[in-house]
């Protein structure tokens, strides 16, 4: 066997093992993230409620009690309730959209990771048998 063939063989083996490992980690982390999303959506529904917090509007009495803060507009009770309801609805829509983005990313990583792993691992295993 020629002296230059040995380093090339080692480099190729490292490449195939490394790509197999990275592809496997893509699948593992994506699957774990999808389980996390499913648990938060179906079982532990309050787990991510505070992530999308919008402060409620200030009622006239609250605004008057804070003369140091000029940026809090005082609104009527009905307007404040409407604004708080709109904020809650927007929070829920944001959570739903973020979950969808996360699931799409995870599915994409799984769809790419599984074939990538299988192809490279099959090559690694066939080279190991030929040693």
Q: Is residue 7 part of a domain?
A: no
Model confidence over 75-117: pLDDT tens digits? 677 787 888 888 888 888 888 899 999 999 999 999 999 999 9
Q: Is residue 122 part of a domain?
A: yes
Residues 2, 112: Cα–Cα separation, whole Å: 37
79 contacts 65 by C-beta, under 8 angstroms = no
Q: Is residue 10 part of a domain?
A: no
Q: Is residue 80 part of a domain?
A: yes
> What is the structure's pLDDT at 76?
73
Range(s) of the domain holding residue 64: 20-129
Q: Is residue 50 part of a domain?
A: yes
The total number of structural domains in the chain stands at 1
CA angle 99, 103, 107 (to 5 degrees): 175
Instruction: Report pTM.
Output: 0.69
pLDDT band at 59; cut points 50, 70, 90:
low
**Distance (Å) of CA 129 to CA 3, 9, 79, 102, 122:** 22, 14, 74, 40, 11
Q: Is residue 118 part of a domain?
A: yes
Q: Is residue 76 part of a domain?
A: yes
Beta bridge partners of 58: 74
34 contacts 106 by C-beta, under 8 angstroms = yes
Q: Is residue 12 part of a domain?
A: no
What are the contacts of 10-14 at 24+ separation with CB within 8 A?
Answer: 12/127, 13/124, 13/127
Model confidence over 3-47: pLDDT tens digits? 667 888 889 889 999 999 999 999 999 999 999 999 988 898 877
Q: Which residue has the higher pLDDT, 67 or 103?
A: 103
């Amino acid at each position: 066997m020629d002296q230059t063939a040995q380093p090339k063989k080692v480099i190729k083996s490292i490449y195939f093992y490394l790509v197999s490992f990275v592809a496997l980690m893509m699948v593992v982390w994506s699957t774990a993230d999808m389980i996390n999303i499913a648990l938060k959506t179906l079982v532990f529904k309050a787990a991510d409620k505070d992530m999308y917090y919008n402060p409620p509007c200030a009622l006239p009495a609250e605004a008057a009690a804070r003369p140091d803060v000029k940026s809090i507009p005082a609104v009527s009770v009905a307007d404040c309730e409407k604004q708080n309801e709109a904020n809650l609805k927007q929070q829920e829509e944001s959570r739903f959209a973020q979950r969808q983005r996360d699931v799409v990313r995870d599915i994409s990583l799984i769809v790419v990771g599984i074939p990538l792993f299988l192809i490279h691992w099959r090559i690694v295993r066939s080279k190991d048998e030929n040693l």
